[in-house]
Amino acid sequence: MNVLNWDGLSSHDAEILLRDLLSAEWDANVESFRRGPDGGVDLRVLGPSGPPLNLSPASRIVVQVKHYPNANLARLRTAFRKEAERIEIDADTRYLAVTTAKLSIRAKQTIANLFHPPLKESDVLGREDIESLLAKHST
């Protein structure tokens, strides 16, 4: 079920929506930043944190949001490949690749494998995942 007019959201609005949903889901302060070049970081959570994340003081979660509601896999692959080249994922960093596009299992696998080391498929979120979070956290 499409609960939002995804085409009507700006990229910044999509990031703020994700910030609020992830803050509710994780019971954590998810930081957002001003518009502009971000070095692969649209949203961030810094450790330490309690459950459910249980981040150590040196750990962090980085979220990159691509607001491409009608994108095909080729466009998403190009966009996330650029991000994968810019971001350094180390043992203390969990990276989430998020898009407002609808994703198949194959698309999630493809995007996850663009990163080094590869992301967990569960750390690639598409529109269906966002809408699930919306349903879970709607007021």
Per-residue pLDDT of the chain (139 residues; tens, 9 = 90+): 456 889 999 999 999 999 999 999 999 999 999 877 667 789 999 999 999 999 999 999 999 999 999 999 999 999 999 999 988 899 999 999 999 999 999 999 999 999 999 999 999 999 999 999 999 998 6
Q: Which residues have C-beta within 8 Å of that of residue 16, sequence separation ≥ 6?
A: 32
Q: Compute the distance between CA of residue 135 and CA of residue 4 in angstroms, rounded to an integer.
A: 11
Looking at the chain, the whole-number percentage of residues with pLDDT higher than 90 is: 86
HSE of 56, CA atoms in CB hemisphere, 13 A: 6
Conformational region of residue 19, where left means phi above 0, alpha means psi within -120 to 50, and beta covers everything else: alpha
DSSP element (H, E) containing 16: helix 11-26
Q: Compute the distance between CA of residue 22 and CA of residue 16 in angstroms, rounded to an integer.
A: 10
Q: Distance between alpha carbon 16 and the CA centroid of its chain, in Å?
A: 11
Q: Compute the distance between CA of residue 30 and CA of residue 114 in angstroms, rounded to an integer.
A: 24
Supply the pTM of this predicted model.
0.92
